[in-house]
Amino acid sequence: MKMSDENIIKKVCKELNLTYKQLGELIGYSEGRLKQLAITEPGEQVEKVCKMLLKVKELEAEINKQNELKKLLKDFIG
């Protein structure tokens, strides 16, 4: 991890508004272990899971936008 790179665990907690405990419950790690990994290298498995959580958030936001557009079109047409 480069000095300029934000730790993936900190990034996920910040972007998803989660505590270490909540993130740990989602991915099967203890709060204490996540606190350790937040100041060191998280490891490949944790990094991949965290990236997947961020991608899920991104995709959910995209689906919400599409649903809003669909509703607007239905309201406009109907």
| pLDDT at position 2 | 47
pLDDT one-digit tens code per residue, 37-73: 999 999 999 999 999 999 999 999 999 999 999 999 9
Q: How many CA atoms lie within 13 A of 57 on its CB side?
A: 14
| pLDDT at position 31 | 96
| pLDDT at position 1 | 46
pLDDT one-digit tens code per residue, 3-37: 447 899 999 999 999 999 999 999 999 999 999 99
Region of 42 please: left (phi>0), alpha (psi -120 to 50) or beta: alpha
Asked if residue 21 lies in contact with residue 7, where contact means CB atoms within 8 angstroms, the answer is no
| pLDDT at position 68 | 96
Q: What residue segments make up the domains of the chain, in order of their start?
A: 8-77
